[in-house]
Chains A and B, each alone.
Chain A
């Protein structure tokens, strides 16, 4: 999908966040020389196209005390991995859930579910819940705790640099 130049301007103006005022779109629209209604219409279009997923907030797990972070990985029967993936993703403590290819022979896991918690024990207990939800369709699983953040650069759309 290619964004129109106006869409790009809108993405660049909002990707760092919206102002926390009662009419945030009016403030952004003014800075872009649009009317509030024009901006809202365009944002609705971008949402309909799937470019925008939602309007909301990203929690900072660390500052919320959720310092334990475990990537749980599962080898799930291909026939049911998608339906079970939906159920795992809907668990309130799962923050990301993806189907990814296996890398055999070393890596048999095709379902990845990230779990955050205040302690490792809490994350391990949640992992048991995922395991029972997956049941017999799951042949094996593992959990990889993060021990260090080595790099974290936020995703940013670069301005067109010619």
Chain B
């Protein structure tokens, strides 16, 4: 379900990875740069969002600064137990997302809780429930990222 992006759309997607100014007319600068009106810029972004190419436009919050705690976790699930363990793990509302990956550690999920203490408590509960060790990979440092589509 992908569609071809216009050069303008590619530019917009890339520019929206940067920071827009916190001003009354946040699209003004971008509009001038692209030789468009502010209405046109807002309209193109709206189309990209409505077509699902952008998931969201708005402020990006630091989840930890909002008071929550997060931790990447992994379990080496024996293949024959995968569906059973998956049902148990996904039943926890603290499991925010969960990916299957092609490795001995084949289940990777993020725990999102109200406090740091709840991270270890939830991981221990999952260990008891599944009988499998849960490895914790908390973020020690985040590096600046710069995602770009090919222009």
Which residues on A are within 8 Å of B, measured CB to CB? 1-3, 11, 14-18, 20-26, 36-37, 40, 43-44, 46-47, 49-60, 63-65, 71, 82, 85-86, 88-101, 103, 106-107, 112, 116, 142, 144-153, 155, 157
Contacts and interface: CB of A to CB of B under 8 A. Distances in A.
Q: List the 6 closest A-B pairs by CB distance, nearest first.
A: A89-B143, A57-B16, A150-B98, A151-B98, A20-B46, A54-B19
A40 B139 contact: no
Contacts of A57: 13, 16-17, 45, 48-49, 54-57
Given A40-B24, A54-B19, 18 more contacts: A1-B67, A3-B66, A20-B42, A20-B45, A20-B49, A23-B25, A25-B22, A25-B24, A56-B18, A57-B57, A59-B55, A63-B52, A63-B53, A64-B53, A103-B136, A146-B99, A147-B101, A155-B96
Contacts of B78: none
Given A43-B59, A99-B140, A59 B42 contact: no
Contact of A54 (B18, B53, B149): B18
Nearest to B147: A95
Nearest to A1: B65
A147 B108 CA distance: 11
B142 A97 contact: yes
Q: Give chain B's interface residue range (CB within 8 Å of chain A).
A: 35 or more
Nearest to B2: A65
B24 A103 contact: no
A100 B100 contact: no
Contacts of A93: 147-148
A107 B139 contact: no
Contact of A142 (B39, B51, B66, B103): B103
A150 B92 CA distance: 13
Contacts of A54: 18-20, 59-60
Given A18-B57, A63-B2, A145-B101, A101 B66 contact: no
A21 B108 contact: no
B103 A52 contact: no
B66 A51 contact: yes
A51 B2 CA distance: 33
Interface in B102-135: 102-105, 107-109, 112, 135
A149 B90 CA distance: 12
Given A1-B65, A16-B56, A147-B100, A56 B142 contact: no
A89 B66 CA distance: 24
Contact of A71 (B2, B108, B135): B108
B81 interface: no
Nearest to B104: A106
Contact of B138 (A82, A101, A147): A101
A149 B100 CA distance: 6
Contacts of A55: 19-22, 26, 58-60
B84 interface: no
Contacts of B13: 57, 59, 64
